[in-house]
Structure 1
C-alpha cells in the first residue's frame, strides 16, 4: 500500500477507491486522451481477478501517476473525506496519542481544569499541568447548589458573608485568567453534571483538579470519576492545600498520629516543596463547542439575602475582607514588610515573627485557596529579615525556635491530613476515630 499512501499524501483532495468497478469508471472519465491510455485500463484482460480483496489497485495508481498529461488536469468529482488537521495522521482518523506531552502533536487536544478551593493562578499544579499537557484548556468553576440552603441543624450551609467573599474570589480569578489569555466558565449546578456536559461540548480528554479532604467533597470526587469514566475521560487529581505535600509524609496516612505533637515529631526533616510560578500566557479556550463563559451569580442567585450589616458596610466602603488572589498577595506582601520592620521580641533574634497586630489575618484567603501555604511560606522566607525556619531545623523540638507562623501552618496541615485520614476510613466503612473533634 506504499504507492497508495504516497498518492494520498501528494493529493489530499483525492480518495482511494475501494471498488474496482468505480476505479475503472474514474479512469475512463478523467483520462480522455485515448492515445495516452494503455488499452488494458479500459478493457481489462480476461485473466484479471476483480475480487476487491486481491485486485492490485496500487500498481494501477502508480501507472496513472507516471502519465504526463500536459493538456489539462482534471479533478475527481467526489469530495474528499480526509480532514486537513495537523493533529491527525492523514491516513488515520483516530491517531494514537504519543506519550511525550512536551511534543505539541502529543498533547491533549482539550482539557478541563475544575477549580474548587484553589482560586488562584500561582502555585496551582492542576492549572499548570493542564496548560503544559494540552493544546487548549477550559477553566471551570461550579457553584454547587448543595453547598447552600439550610443544613439538617437549621443553619445556613454557606452564610452571606462567606458567599460574598467566594463570589469576589471567583470574579478575581476570572480577571486573572483573562489577563493571561484565558477565561473562566462559571455555572450553577452539580459539578458531576456540569463537567460531563462541558466535556462533551469541547471534546475534552481529561479533567484536572485538586483533591479535597472532607467527606462530602470526597464523595463528589467519586461521583465525578464514575460519570467521566463512562465518557472515557481521565480525571487527574493533584495536592495543593497544605504546606507539606501528602506524598512527602514519612508515614502512610492510615498511620498518621492523632495528636499534633506526634504529627510534628513525625514531620521533622521534611522539606517544603518549591512553589509553582504563575504562567504568563495560558492556552486558549477550546474552539469546539463555543462555550459561553456565563455570568457570576449574585447572592440572590444563590438563594441568599445580604444582611443589613453587609449593606451598611458596602455603602460606607468599610468592608475589610475583599476576596480574590490579588488581594491575598497584596496582604501577604504587606505582612512580610511589617515582619521585616518589626523589632525582635525581647531583643532576641530567635523570637517569633510578629506583624499585623500579632496576626497575619490571611486565613480566609487560605481557606478559599486564593493563596497557597507554600507561597506564603516562600514569600515570608524571601521578604523577612529573620529566616523562617521549619521544625525540622530545631534540635530541641520546642516552640521557642519555631516561629509562630510555621506553628500555625503546621496546625493547619495536621487538621487537613487528619480529616483526609478519617474521611478515607469512612469511605471504606471503617468507624472513624473522633479523638480530635474537641480540638477542632
Structure 2
C-alpha cells in the first residue's frame, strides 16, 4: 500500500483567514491611519487638498463616513472625504450610489460636484429641492422669491433636466426641506454620499449645516466643492477670515492669480440607482410655489423686459457666444486699457441672472471672452484692426466686473456665520456696473 504524500510543512501557513470559520478567526488590530493623505482630484490643479482621518465608529454595524464640513469652514472649506480610486473598471472601490444636490449650479459644464460624483460612483441621483423657506412672504411683507425669478428658476431646472436626460440620467425634483428630502432619497437608494457646491449667504450656510446634521445621523458623507467664483477659494493668497474688507486691497492681491481651468461637461453620465424605484417627479408651477402667474403676463399690451429672459444653461451659453461676438466687433470705448468699455443694452452684458443661478460659471465666461481676445490679438498681428488687439475687444472690462462679483461673494462668505456677523466691519465698496 502506497504511503500517502505528506503535505508541505508550510501549507498551514498559507491558509487565508477566509478559510477559517468566523468564530475561530483571530482579531487583527488595524494599523493607525495617517492624519493626512494626499488625494488627487478631478481638476489637475486641486493637488494640494488633504484628507482628515476619521473618528472611531460607535456603531460598527454601519459604515461611518466623516463629513467634509469642518468645524471652521473658513479654514478648510473643501477638505475631502475618504479616497476612492477613479478607475471605472474597479467597481468594488466605487460608491454604490451618490446624490448630487443641485443648488445655484444648474449646469453640466464646469460642475465639479457632478463630475466627481460620476467618477466616484456606480450610479448617480441628481436632485433639486424647491425649499418652501425660499417662498412666501418675508417679515417685511414682500415675496421672498418674486414671480419673475421663480419663472426663471423653473426654466433653468427644466433645462437641466433635459440636459441630464440627453446624457443618460435624469433630475429628481421635490418640493420640501433639503435636509428631509435628501435623507429620504439617501435611504431609498442606499446612497453613500451627497455631493454639492458650497454657497455663501447666511441662510444657505445654515441649510448646509442642517443637511450635514441629518446626514450624520445616517452615516452618509457630505462632500462640498467650490464653483461660484472666478478665483477658487483655495487659491486666494490669504485665509478667507483675513480677507481685505475693501475692494482695492482684494483686487491688488488676486488679479495676478492663475484661474483654474474649466471642467468639461461629461458626454455620458452614470445611470440612476435601480434601488428604491425613485420617480423623477414634476417640476412645480408658479401656483404650486404660491405665486401668482398673472404677474408675469403682458399688461396693457406691453411685455416686461424680465419676461423675455429664458433660464437655463442652453440659453446662457448662446447668449455668452453672442455677447463675445459683439465685443469682438465693437470699436474701442472708454479708457486706454479697455477696462471700462461696456456694450449691450443699458451698458450691461445682461448675463447676471444666469450667473446667479449657476447656469453659467464665471470661469466659463472668462474662457469664452479670452478666446475672443486671442482672436483679436491675432487679427492685430495680421494688421486687420490697426490697434493693439485685446484692448479693442471690449472684453477686458468684464474681467474687472467678475472680480467685483468675486469680492462680494467672498466677503459674504467671510461674514456668513453668526459669530462673524457680530464681529463684522463694514466692507468698503462702491456701486459699479456689475456683470
- Give 1:204's match in structure 2, choosing from 191, 195, 198: 191
Relative to structure 1, the CA distance from residue 437 to residue 148 in structure 2 (aligned partners, 3 Å threshold; closer, same or farther) is farther
Q: Structure 2: which 5+ residue stretches go unaligned?
A: 1-10, 26-60, 65-81, 378-393
Partner Cα separation in structure 2 for residue 313 and residue 164 of structure 1: 21
Q: Quick one: distance in 2 between partners of 1:339 and 1:420?
A: 32
Give the Cα–Cα distance (whole angstroms) in 1 for the partners of residues 111 and 275 of structure 2.
Answer: 25
The separation in 1 between residues aligned to 2:173 and 2:247, in whole angstroms, is 38
Whether contact under 8 Å (2:339, 2:398) holds in the other structure is no
Q: 1:422 aligns with which of 406, 415, 423?
A: 415
- Residue 336 of structure 1 is matched in structure 2 by 324
The change in CA–CA distance for 1:104 and 1:224 in structure 2 (over 3 A counts) is same
Which of residues 361, 366, 384 in structure 2 aligns to 1:377? Answer: 366
Partner of 1:281: 268
Change (3 A) 1:177 1:246: same
Aligned residues, how many?
348
Q: 1:330 to 1:105 in 2, by over 3 A?
A: same
Task: Measure the CA separation in 2 of the matches of 1:153 and 1:350.
Answer: 42
Distance change (3 Å), C-alpha of 1:214 and 1:254: same
Q: Deviations over 1:272-330 (max 9, x none)?
A: 11000000000000010010000000000000002345255999798310000000000
1:399-427 deviation line (CA, Å, top 9, x unaligned): xx992211111110000000000113x24
Separation in structure 1 between the aligned mates of residue 401 and residue 154 of structure 2, nearest angstrom: 27
- Choose which of 208, 223, 246 in structure 2 pairs with 1:259: 246
Could you tell me how far apart the structure 2 residues matched to 1:314 and 1:126 are?
A: 44
Q: Taking structure 1 as reference, are residues 253 and 195 closer, same or farther at Cα in structure 2, changes over 3 Å only?
A: same
1:361 aligns with 2:350: yes
Larger Rg: 1
Equivalent position to 1:217, from 171, 186, 204? 204
Measure, in 1, the Cα distance between the counterparts of 2:283 and 2:317: 22
Cα RMSD for the two superposed structures: 3.4
Q: CA deviation at 1:266?
A: 1.4
- TM-score, normalised by the number of residues in structure 1: 0.72
Look up the match of 2:220: 233
| Alpha-carbon distance between aligned partners in 2 of 1:309 and 1:204, rounded to the nearest angstrom | 39
- C-alpha change, 1:94 and 1:264, in structure 2 (3 Å) is closer
**C-alpha separation between the residues in 2 aligned to 1:349 and 1:218?**
39
Output the CA distance in 2 between the equivalents of 1:266 and 1:317: 41
- CA distance, structure 1, for counterparts of residue 292 and residue 180 of structure 2: 27
For 2:263 and 2:169, the matched residues in 1 are separated by: 18
Is the 1:250–1:267 Cα contact (8 Å) retained in structure 2? yes
